[in-house]
Structure 1
């Protein structure tokens, strides 16, 4: 299983990664701090799940989320951004508000993993 984490704050990226690896130790995690870097990862080896901050170093991850949707990769936004700012087609996507509690990330990871298996 391969999990993408898109987050431009290193401490938060590490925290999400630690939660994922604690829950699923055999997972490969890939971290990107920008939409550009994340799109390169998406175009590479297949992904199974993704956690996306909305506001990263080079803009918003909405285009990335739409690309993941096209590739049938389940994802969740992990962001303090206002849900109302999202494009209509992404307003109802899964979301963990920042600041988050580790169990919120773990719960979403479990839900995404189940979705990926179906």
Structure 2
């Protein structure tokens, strides 16, 4: 499993990474701090993405949409409000900051329990 964590606050990114690695020990986990870095990672297969919404180079909604269409499971982990999420992305999991370890684990478990999805990476 390949996991993308896009978070521009290093300490938060490292915390999310530690939780993911503990829950998915065989996963390949990549941290990104910008949308551009996230897009570079997404050029390959991404199975699970945990995305902050507001990062240094903008909002991650377009990347989230692209990843979702490509078949990745997307979880927003953000200080933004869920009400601000564009209508086409409201089906994606959303964890508010500050978050608990349990919330991240539960979202990962729910994402991993879902049936596999078709992959389309040409749009990324």
Which TM class, normalised by the smaller chain length?
over 0.9
Structure 1 residue runs without a partner (length 5+): none
Shift of 1:116: 5.4
Answer yes or no: is the 8 Å Cα contact 1:78–1:97 preserved in 2.
yes
1:27 and 1:91 map into 2 onto residues whose CA distance is: 26
Structure 2 residue runs without a partner (length 5+): 118-124
Answer yes or no: is the 8 Å Cα contact 1:48–1:116 preserved in 2.
no
SS in 2 for 1:25: coil
Show the counterpart of 1:31.
31
Length-normalised TM-score, structure 2: 0.89
Show the counterpart of 1:95.
94
SS in 2 for 1:75: strand
Length-normalised TM-score, structure 1: 0.93
2:108 and 2:115 map into 1 onto residues whose CA distance is: 10
2:103 and 2:57 map into 1 onto residues whose CA distance is: 26
User: Runs of at least 4 residues of structure 1 off by over 4 A?
Assistant: none
